[in-house]
Amino acid sequence: MKRLLPLRPSAMVLHHSSSSRSGVAWVLQLLCLWTLSFRAHGGGPRKLYIAYLGHVKHGHPDDVVASHHDLLTTLLGSKEGSSASMVYNYKHGFSGFAAMLTADQAKQLAEFPEVISVQPSKRHTPTTTRSWDFLGLNHQMMGSDMLHGSNSGGEDVIIGVIDTGIWPESRSFSDSGYGPVPSRWKGKCQVGHDWGSKNCSRKIVGARFYSAGVPDQFLETDSLSPRDHNGHGTHCASTAAGSAVEAASFHGLAKGVARGGAPRARIAVYKSFWGLGFGNTATVLAAIDDAIHDGVDVLSMSFGVDENSFGVLHAVQKGITVVYAGGNEGPRPQTVRNGAPWAITVAASKIDRSFPTMIMLGNKQEIVGQSLYYRGKNSSMSSSGFKGLVVPVSCDMDILNGTDVKGKILFCTMQPSDQDVFQQAAQYVQDGRGSGVIFAQYTTDLSFTALDVCQGIACVLVDLDIGKKIASYMDDASSPMAKIEPARTVTGKEMLAPKVAMFSSRGPSPDYPAIIKPDIAAPGVNILAAKENSYAILSGTSMAAPHVAGVVALLKALHPNWSSAAIKSAIITTAHITDEHDMSILAEGLPRKIADPFDYGGGNINPHGAADPGLVYDIDPQDYDKYFRCTIVKRASVHCNTTGMLPAYHLNLPSISVPNLRSPVTMSRTVTNVGGVDSVYHVEIQSPVGVRMEVDPPVLVFDAKNKVHTFQVKLSPVWKLQGDYTFGSLTWGNDQKVVRIPVAARITIQDFYADVA
C-alpha cells in the first residue's frame, strides 16, 4: 500500500500545464483555493474517492493523467501529496481518477468547475451444459442456423469479463483451432504471480489485474495476477464463451457438453475482485477504462455497481454492449441493481433440470428433496446406512451451538432466502463431522451460496409440506433416523420451466424508477461451468448475465453495425413470456405468481428470435448524455437544456414505464425495420389495468424508402386512486414477427418527480 504524505495546505501553489483554461475558470479555481486553505485543516480519515471529469478532453492519455495530477496538486498543495494520494487514472474511455482523500477534500474537489462528481469508492461483491440446449442453442446445430451459420460462434467478437480473474488451464479455454487474434485488439497480457505471458492465447486474448486500493488482507489469499483463485470469474467466462468440452459434469451431476453461449468468442480478462470477492468502484472503473481502450465488444459484469454507471455509459457510447447481473436480493420488490438504461440488466431463471435426492426415513417412508449431493471418497455419508436425525429448537447459531451432530443429520426449517442460517448450519455440521442437513423451506430452489459449505456432507432442500412429514415422523419415532441417497439428474419438458428464480432481484429499480428493470431473464440456477481444472454448479444472476453476454456476442457477429440499444431491443422484444406448453412463465416468490416485467423485463431470453427481430427500438448513445447529466449527477452542466429534466419515458427504450401517472401523458417511440424490406405491422395493445393506452398510428408500413417510423403512445389514468403498478404490453406484429415491449404504469396522486427523480 502506498503511504500518504501529510497535508501541507499552506504551501499550495497553482500549477497549470494547460494554457487553454478560460479566465472564468481561473477565478473559480482561485475561489476554490481560498476556501480550501481554510477547510483543508479539517483532516479526518482518508478514504478512496472517485472524481469523474466527463469525456476525455486531452488528446494523449499522458496529458489526461497530467491534468489529473494538476488538479490534485491544486487541491492538496503539493505534487508529492498528489502522487501519494492518486490510486487510479481513468484516461481512455472517460476522464477521472481515484484518490485517497478526506471527506473535506472530496467536498472541495467537487467544487472544481471541471469536476462533474466526486463519490466515495464503494465496496462491491460478485454476487452450463444444459442451459444452452434449453435455449435452443444446440452445439450440434453449429453452422446450420442463422445464429451460428455465418459467424462461427462469434470468433471475431471479444467479450471482456470483469471479475475474479480466470483459470487458463481449464479445457473450456483451449484455443485449438482458433484463427489469429483480431488485429484491432489493443489489450495486453499482464504477467504476475502464477501467470506468464503464455497464459494468454488465441482464446484468452488479454488479461489485466487491478490491485491498487485493495486492502492487503484480500490480496494475501490471492495471486497478484489475473489468475482466479475464487472460481467466480472462471465460471462466468466459460458460461459466456467457453469452448465446447465433452462429458463435463460436477461429480457425475449435470453431465453433458459444457460450452459458452458464444463458444468461439475471445475472452479478455479484467481482474477487479480479490480473495473471496473484494472489489470496489475504483478497481472496476479501472477495468472499464482499459476495456474501452483495448477494444472489447461486450462487457460481462456479474456484480452490483450503480455508482459506476458513468463508466458503463462511456463504454456504451464507444460501442461496447454492457451486460449486468441484476442481483440476488429477490423476491422483494425494488431490489434490482445495475438499473442504468444503457446497460442490459439480467434476471435469473430456472431451466428444465433438477437434482432429485431421495431421503428414506426410519419408517421406510420415501421422500424427495433437491441437492447436489454426491458420495465422495471421504464423505461422512459414504457408509450408506441410516443416521440419527437431530432437530434443534432453531438452527440459528446461538441456539444450535453446542448440539452434537457427529455422524448425524440435522433438520432445520428456515425462512425463505435465509442464506445466513443455511450457510452457518451447514458449516456447523461440516465442522462437527456430521453427515448432512435437511433444510425445509418455502421453495426447493437450490441456493447459490450453500454449495461451498456442502462439500462432503449432504445438504438437501425440501419444501414445507415435506418438512412437515419429516417433523411428524420425528414426533412419533423414539429414535428418528434417515438415509440420504446421492442426487440424480433429471431434465425434460414435463417440468415446469422456465421460472424466475426466488433469489432473482426484482424491479422497479430504486435508482431509475421510470425504467423497467431487469431487462431480460436467462438461466441462472444450477449452472455447470468451469472451475479451475474441473466443473462446478453455481446459481445466481451472476451466472445469468454471462448467458446474455454470450448471446450478445453472437448477435454482434451476425449484425456488426447494430448499436447496443438495437441489440438490447432485439433481446427484449423477442423474449418468451410463455413456455413450450403455452403456459405463462412463473416467478418464484411469496406467493409464486405469473411473472411480470419487474421479474423478468421482456421475458426469458430467446436467442434465435433475437437474431431476427423484425423491428428494433434504437437509441443514439449520445442521447443518454442529457438524461444522465441532468438527472443523475444533478449538476447544471452544458449538456442539460434549460427545460431541465427529460422524463425517462421519452427515451426510445424497448419498454415503457410511467411511475407517476396523474394526467394523460404522451410519449413517442421510433422503430427501425431490420427485417423484410416491405413489411406492414399492426399494433396490438394490452393496456395496464386502470390505464387507457392509445397508439397512433395503428399501422406502420415499411418499404425501401421508409425504414424508420415514429409513433405516439398516450397513457391516461382511468382510475383516480393511487395504486400499485399494473402491467401491459405494446406489440407490433404481422404474420411473421411479433415485436413486443412491456408497459408498466402506476397511478399516483403525488408529485413523484419533485420528490424522487
Ligand X SMILES: *[C@@H]1O[C@H](CO)[C@@H](O)[C@H](O)[C@H]1NC(C)=O
Binding site for ligand X (CB under 6 A): 168-169, 194-196, 198-199, 377-378, 397, 401, 561-562, 566, 641, 643, 646, 674
Residue placing its CB nearer to ligand X in the complex, 473 or 562: 562
Residue 544 identity (one-letter amino acid): A
316: which 3 cell numbers? Answer: 456504451
Contact (CB, 8 A) for 352 and 492: yes
As measured in angstroms, the least distance from the Cβ of 266 to ligand X is 16
749: which 3 cell numbers? Answer: 396522486
Catalytic annotation present for 163: yes
Report which residue's Cβ sits closest to ligand X: 196
As measured in angstroms, the least distance from the Cβ of 420 to ligand X is 11
Residue placing its CB nearer to ligand X in the complex, 37 or 641: 641
Task: State which H helix or E strand residue 608 sits in.
Answer: helix 607-611
231: which 3 cell numbers? Answer: 472460481
As measured in angstroms, the least distance from the Cβ of 57 to ligand X is 22
Q: Report phi then psi at 28, rounded to 5.
A: -60, -40
Q: How far apart are CA 326 and CA 343, in angstroms?
A: 11
Q: How far apart are CA 131 and CA 544, in angstroms?
A: 10
- Angstrom distances, CA of residue 355 to CA of 374, 462, 725: 11, 12, 36
What is the distance between the terminal CA atoms of the chain, rounded to a whole angstrom? Answer: 39
Query: Considering 309, 542, 563, 729, which one is annotated as catalytic?
Result: 542
Structural Rg of the chain based on CA atoms: 27
Task: State which H helix or E strand residue 465 sits in.
Answer: helix 464-476
Residue placing its CB nearer to ligand X in the complex, 198 or 705: 198
Dihedral angle of Cα 132, 138, 143, 149, to the nearest 10 degrees: -50
Q: How far apart are CA 250 and CA 454, in angstroms?
A: 13
Q: Report phi then psi at 535, rounded to 5.
A: -130, 145
Residue 270 identity (one-letter amino acid): Y
Residue 19 identity (one-letter amino acid): S
Contact (CB, 8 A) for 300 and 269: no
As measured in angstroms, the least distance from the Cβ of 705 to ligand X is 13
Of residues 422, 370, 432, the one with CA closest to residue 396: 422
As measured in angstroms, the least distance from the Cβ of 223 to ligand X is 10
Catalytic annotation present for 542: yes
Angle at alpha carbon of residue 56, lines to 346 and 345, rounded to 5°: 5
Contact (CB, 8 A) for 315 and 93: yes
As measured in angstroms, the least distance from the Cβ of 529 to ligand X is 18
Contact (CB, 8 A) for 154 and 239: no
As measured in angstroms, the least distance from the Cβ of 176 to ligand X is 12
Residue placing its CB nearer to ligand X in the complex, 403 or 606: 403
Catalytic annotation present for 384: no
Pairing of strands 679-686, 699-702: antiparallel
As measured in angstroms, the least distance from the Cβ of 583 to ligand X is 35
Residue placing its CB nearer to ligand X in the complex, 397 or 718: 397
Query: Considering 68, 229, 232, 547, which one is annotated as catalytic?
Result: 232
Residue placing its CB nearer to ligand X in the complex, 328 or 673: 673
As measured in angstroms, the least distance from the Cβ of 540 to ligand X is 25
Residue placing its CB nearer to ligand X in the complex, 195 or 422: 195
Q: How far apart are CA 73 and CA 56, in angstroms?
A: 19
Cα 726 to its chain centre, rounded Å, is 26
Q: Determine how many CB atoms are found less than 10 A away from the CB of residue 326.
A: 35
Q: How far apart are CA 100 and CA 128, in angstroms?
A: 41
Which of the 8 DSSP states describes residue 519? -
With residues binned 3-state (H G I as helix, E B as strand, rest as coil), the percentages for the chain, rounded to 5, are 25, 25, 45
Q: How far apart are CA 107 and CA 596, in angstroms?
A: 42
Residue placing its CB nearer to ligand X in the complex, 332 or 707: 707
Contact (CB, 8 A) for 226 and 262: no
Cα 350 to its chain centre, rounded Å, is 16
Residue placing its CB nearer to ligand X in the complex, 383 or 641: 641
Phi-psi region of 54 (alpha: psi -120 to 50; beta: other; left: phi over 0): left
Q: How far apart are CA 65 and CA 92, in angstroms?
A: 10
Query: Considering 95, 124, 131, 163, which one is annotated as catalytic?
Result: 163
Please state the length of the chain.
757
Q: How far apart are CA 358 and CA 62, in angstroms?
A: 64
Residue placing its CB nearer to ligand X in the complex, 400 or 516: 400
As measured in angstroms, the least distance from the Cβ of 692 to ligand X is 24
**Three-state secondary structure readout of 286-347:** HHHHHHHHHCCCEEEECCCCHHHHHHHHHHHHCCCEEEEECCCCCCCCCCCCCCCCCCEEEE
Catalytic residues: 163, 232, 542
